[in-house]
Amino acid sequence: MVCESRTSLGKCCTLFLIGAFAFWIRVLVTLHSYSGAGTPPRFGDYEAQRHWMEITLHTPVQEWYVNTTNNDLSYWGLDYPPLTAYQSFFHGLVLDRFEPESVALHTSRGYETPSSKRLMRWTVLTSDAIIFFPAVFAFSMAFHHQRRFDESAWAFAVILLQPALILIDHGHFQYNCISLGLTLGAVASICLHRDYLASVLFCLALNHKQMSAYYAPAFFAYLFGKSIRKKNPIFEVMKLGVAVIGTFLLCWWPFLHSRTAEAVLLRLAPLQRGIFEDYVANFWCASSLVVKWKQIFPNTVLAYLALFATLVSFLPSVVQQIRSPSHRGFLLSLFNSSLSFYLFSYQVHEKSILLPLIPASLLILEDFSLYRGMILCAMFSMFPLLRRDGLVVPYIATFALHLLLLNVPFLEKSLSHVKERQHPSLKYMSDGLLFTGCLIDLLYLLIEPPPRYPFLFEALNSLLVFICLVLIGLHSHIQQWSATSTHEQIDADKVKMN
């Protein structure tokens, strides 16, 4: 049906429908459970976010990151950068306006009334609609504008309906849509050649969640590579530097002013937590089945080891972008560097897979098999977490919905161009992963693991996903390095298609 819409009204209507549908699916997911629902004494991420609203609302700025009588840091102390704190303050104001008890100091711990839950859910929904949706739209306009409308509309739908982000933000309860939306905005700005705006937006993303640093090498490499090709390279780099430092100064001003910036920095580096949590599908966790890293090395040594491994693994993609910066190569290097961080960096959480997943989804029209593999990896690797949150039903529903979206029977003709370009070995890997992943999920739901190995399924799951991620990472590195040579070819293809 989409293929009929050649008029601009038809296009607007299609995009509106996709956006509204994606939003509605998010609303439906909010009806389900969330992290730590009704489980005192520490609850979960929902309580953490609510607690931050309480703290930022009732204590002065300089106390937000400091242990005081009003701010017990051992109970969900703020450990995200200042922009998250400001966002919590703002949302705290909203909650205070409608239901003051839900953010009252001290007394509101574990506060869960139906109305406060609705309010909390809507703070995420509105953030998503205000930041993430427009960013995806801008990206589609900027990067897919040469594509046929069917293709770009489908890509728009795939990025918006990507289930992992929906489940974590609107099921589990977090505000990834803000930092990822800001990053996406930065990517869109780069595609529109607005490098300063991109730097500012990406710095904002960094200041919302420090995890956005997974993307930093790619941004640095692309912008640096582009600057040194201009007339006045040093001046260009300095201009970007000013934009970055200015944004940081603005975000950190209250803490610099009150001389508590050091305390904030300490809160952001979670060295006291281990090298990985639970069963995350990265190198350290997978190899710890054989090598007990946590017992051999102290945390600080491990941190350096992880830093070194990460550096080595993202270096190739950085070098490639500095040598020949391009939009497609930039997206691939975003993917490669964030995947390196996920696989090798210190203190990785299951949810961090969202970071490589986003650039993979942006590449859907360029490299369908990469995205297909990634979404399967992301969903299967998050299953244990979502099961703990009581989100099995929305997990199945949104996952199935997304797989259906990837195979629309009446769009087959218009998408044949995209799907033909699938890498065969990656396709077989994805098929195998889909089958084994479903099997493990099913076993996980139905069978009690043997008492000797209580975490058998989690370990199997993370090992499986880790192997696939390594394969995908190899594939994307090859893609990125061959991008330089094939780039002209692709551009020629695009012209022919139109």
Partner 1 sequence: MRGTKQQQQHELQRQQAQKPMNGLREVLWMASVATCIKMLLMPTYHSTDFEVHRHWLALTASLPLNQWYIDETSPWTLDYPPFFAWFEYVLSFFARIVDPVIVDLTRGLKYDAASAVYFQRGSVMCSDLLLFLGTWRFCRNFPLKLQILSYLAIFFSPGLLMVDHIHFQYNGFLLGVLLLSVSYLKEGNDLTGGIMFAILLCFKHLFAIAAPVYFVYLLRHYCHDLARFLKLGFSVMLVILTAFGPFLYYGQIAQVLRRLFPFGRGLCHAYWAPNFWALYNAVDKMLSYLLRMLGFDVVMEKAAMTGGLVGDSKAHAILPQITPGLSMFLVLLSMSPCLIKIWRKPRRDNLLICVVYAYTCGYIFGWHVHEKASLHFVIPLVLAAVDSVKVAKEYYFVSIVSYYSLFPLLFEPREYPVKMIFLVLHSTAMWYGFAINFAPQTQTSVKESELKERNGCMSLCIKKKMFIAGLVGLEIYVQLIHHLVFEERLPFLPLMLISVYCSIGLMYAWLKQLSFVIEL
CB of 238 or CB of 393, closer to partner 1: 393
CB of 405 or CB of 456, closer to partner 1: 405
For residue 462, how far is the Cα from the chain centroid?
A: 19
The DSSP line for 345-405 is SSSB-GGGGHHHHHHHHHTTTT-HHHHHHHHHHHHHHHHHHHHHTT-HHHHHHHHHHHHHH
Angstrom distance (rounded) from CA 203 to CA 185: 11
Which residue pairs from 290-299 have beta carbons closer than 8 angstroms and sit at least 24 positions apart in sequence? 299/271, 299/272, 299/274, 299/275
Cβ 166 to partner 1 shortest distance, Å: 10
17 sits near partner 1 (criterion: CB under 8 A): yes
Q: Is the distance from CB of 162 to CB of 15 less than 8 angstroms?
A: no
CB of 25 or CB of 382, closer to partner 1: 25
311 sits near partner 1 (criterion: CB under 8 A): no
Site residues for partner 1, window 355-414 (CB under 8 A)? 393-394, 396-398, 400-401, 404, 407-410
4 sits near partner 1 (criterion: CB under 8 A): yes
* Structural tokens at position 14: 């299609």
CB of 141 or CB of 403, closer to partner 1: 403
Q: What Rg value do the Cα atoms of the chain yield, rounded?
A: 22
28 sits near partner 1 (criterion: CB under 8 A): yes
* Structural tokens at position 498: 């139109």
269 sits near partner 1 (criterion: CB under 8 A): no
16 sits near partner 1 (criterion: CB under 8 A): yes
Cβ 380 to partner 1 shortest distance, Å: 18
115 sits near partner 1 (criterion: CB under 8 A): yes
* Structural tokens at position 32: 């389900």
Angstrom distance (rounded) from CA 393 to CA 304: 40
What does the angle CA 402 – CA 365 – CA 348 come to, to the nearest 5 degrees?
A: 60
324 sits near partner 1 (criterion: CB under 8 A): no
Cβ 276 to partner 1 shortest distance, Å: 32
456 sits near partner 1 (criterion: CB under 8 A): no
Q: How far apart are the first and last CA of the chain?
A: 20
Q: Tell me the window of 13-21, 68-76, 270-278, 462-470 that interacts with partner 1 (CB under 8 A).
A: 13-21
10 sits near partner 1 (criterion: CB under 8 A): yes
Q: Tell me the window of 23-31, 51-59, 152-160, 448-456 that interacts with partner 1 (CB under 8 A).
A: 23-31
CB of 126 or CB of 146, closer to partner 1: 126
249 sits near partner 1 (criterion: CB under 8 A): no
The single residue listed with the structure tokens 């399924």 is 457
41 sits near partner 1 (criterion: CB under 8 A): no
* Largest distance between two CA atoms of the chain: 68
Tell me if the bond preceding 451 is cis, omega within 30° of 0.
Answer: no
Angstrom distance (rounded) from CA 443 to CA 259: 53
* Structural tokens at position 177: 């849509």
Number of residues engaging partner 1 in binding (CB under 8 A) = 33
130 sits near partner 1 (criterion: CB under 8 A): no
Cβ 123 to partner 1 shortest distance, Å: 14
DSSP 145: T
CB of 21 or CB of 304, closer to partner 1: 21
Cβ 120 to partner 1 shortest distance, Å: 13
Angstrom distance (rounded) from CA 47 to CA 352: 20
27 sits near partner 1 (criterion: CB under 8 A): yes
105 sits near partner 1 (criterion: CB under 8 A): no
Cβ 141 to partner 1 shortest distance, Å: 21
32 sits near partner 1 (criterion: CB under 8 A): yes
Q: Count H helices and E strands in the chain, helices first.
A: 22, 0
31 sits near partner 1 (criterion: CB under 8 A): yes
Angstrom distance (rounded) from CA 125 to CA 229: 42
Q: Tell me the window of 5-13, 200-208, 212-220, 252-260 that interacts with partner 1 (CB under 8 A).
A: 5-13
| Burial of 374 per CB tally in 10 Å (0-12, 13-18, 19+) | buried
3-state class of 268 per DSSP? Answer: helix
135 sits near partner 1 (criterion: CB under 8 A): no
CB of 322 or CB of 386, closer to partner 1: 386
Q: Which residues bind partner 1 (CB under 8 A)?
A: 1, 4-5, 10, 13-14, 16-17, 20-21, 23-25, 27-29, 31-32, 114-115, 118, 393-394, 396-398, 400-401, 404, 407-410
